[in-house]
Amino acid sequence: MYARRSLTTDTVMLARHHAGAITRRQLLESGLGVHVITRLAAEGRLAPVTRGVYAIGPITWPTRAWAGILVAGPGSCLSGLAAAHTWGLSDPPDVIEVRTEAHPHDRGGYRFVRGAVEAVGPELPRTGIARTVITLASRAGSPDAAAHWITRGIAQRAPLDELVETARAIPNLRRRQEILAIVDELEPGIESVLEHRYVVRVERDHGLPRPERQALVGADRLDMLHREFGVVIELDGRIGHAAEGAFRDMRRDNRHAEHGLVTLRFGWDDVTRDACGVAAQVASTLRTRGWRGVLRPCRRCALPFAG
């Protein structure tokens, strides 16, 4: 019986199920000999991805991700930042993390983490979105970094109850109480660390009325809208909206003004360094439009608010 000298249709189809990745063992089982595999690699028809895994076609990030899963074996899945990327939570990481029950050693471009987890797949098996978010939050270096992952998860429709359940279920979870406190402070519509800080430090700590979050006005989605009083709150991140972004915001604010809406914009420094001042300005604007509430001083306020 002679060894095959070229890739079969079945072999190519098998690789396509794995974004082009195929193991040396699968190639041998398809009937290719060792020398044929070497020749195909020399000709560029097989491209080495990592030790024991080749690619049929271009090596993309999904190809590399599948290669890691194939190395780790059955039941393995992407985790950490690699899983986060597949959920739309982050850019593709250079080092791909794979959770597995096997014992492969880390190698260039891959990190293998021991432990069994129910994988979501079959296309690029990965940890579920709640598990992914809570795992990354537990590895964060600060409360803000933990809140970043949790709010990103909420923005990608991670259910709050699943986040709580997962945070309570993972054994020996770092930052467990901190994570549970952050999740407890969240509600639908909070989609960034800045929004989370505004809600806690500006809105709740000072007794401001609760606005609609991610409200729609025509085709525009607004961070927060006090619809009864016609006041829009827009939060711009650390970098802010320069150049084209600033003009886009201005045009949108002008459209809203035509409908009687006034827009207040605050940045990262405003909310993190002067939450009390922001609260006072929001309250003053709301009062001019009919709000009859009382602004409550928080523990950080230097002086009580009048009225």
Rounded mean pLDDT, 288-292: 95
More confident residue, 135 or 123: 135
Do 77 and 119 fall into the same domain?
A: yes
Residue 220 lies in a domain: yes
Residue 219 lies in a domain: yes
Do 30 and 120 fall into the same domain?
A: yes
Nearest CA among 201, 159, 156 for reference residue 183? 159
CA distance 221 to 172: 40
| Number of Cα atoms under 13 Å in the Cβ half of residue 199 | 24
Do 217 and 167 fall into the same domain?
A: no
Do 158 and 201 fall into the same domain?
A: no
pLDDT (0 to 100) of residue 2: 47
Task: Tell me which amino acid residue 174 is.
Answer: R
pLDDT level of residue 3 (50, 70, 90 thresholds): low
Contact of 194 with 235, CB cutoff 8 Å: yes
CA distance 230 to 89: 33
For 86, the domain range is 9-127
pLDDT of 22 > 60? The answer is yes
Per the structure block, which two tokens stand in for 181? 């406190």
Residue 149 lies in a domain: yes
Residue 199 lies in a domain: yes
Residue 44 lies in a domain: yes
- Among 144-148, 187-191, 194-198, 276-280, top mean pLDDT goes to 276-280
Helix axes 129-139, 143-155, angle to 10 degrees: 170
% of the chain surpassing 70 pLDDT? 93
Peptide bond preceding 122 in cis form (omega within 30 of 0): yes
pLDDT of 213 > 50? The answer is yes
The contacts of residue 192 (CB under 8 Å, 6+ apart) are 148, 151, 155, 235, 237
DSSP for residue 200: I
Residue 276 lies in a domain: yes
Residue 24 lies in a domain: yes
Do 240 and 157 fall into the same domain?
A: no
CATH classification at residue 271 = 3.40.960.10
What is the number of structural domains in the chain?
Answer: 3
pLDDT of 210 > 60? The answer is yes
Do 177 and 226 fall into the same domain?
A: no
pLDDT of 279 > 90? The answer is yes
Do 79 and 140 fall into the same domain?
A: no
pLDDT (0 to 100) of residue 304: 55
Task: Tell me which amino acid residue 11 is.
Answer: T
Do 117 and 136 fall into the same domain?
A: no
Chain segment 127-165, per-residue pLDDT in tens: 999 999 999 999 998 888 898 999 889 888 888 889 999
Do 134 and 123 fall into the same domain?
A: no
Do 164 and 201 fall into the same domain?
A: no
pLDDT (0 to 100) of residue 131: 95
Phi, psi of 143 (to 5 degrees): -60, -40
More confident residue, 242 or 299: 299
pLDDT level of residue 245 (50, 70, 90 thresholds): low
Do 152 and 241 fall into the same domain?
A: no
More confident residue, 103 or 172: 172
pLDDT (0 to 100) of residue 33: 86
Mean of the per-residue pLDDT values of the chain? 88
Per the structure block, which two tokens stand in for 250? 């201005």
Determine how β-strand 119-120 pairs with β-strand 110-114. unpaired
Flag the least confident range among 8-17, 113-122, 211-220.
Answer: 113-122
pTM: 0.76
Do 52 and 153 fall into the same domain?
A: no
CA distance 26 to 44: 18
Residue 148 lies in a domain: yes
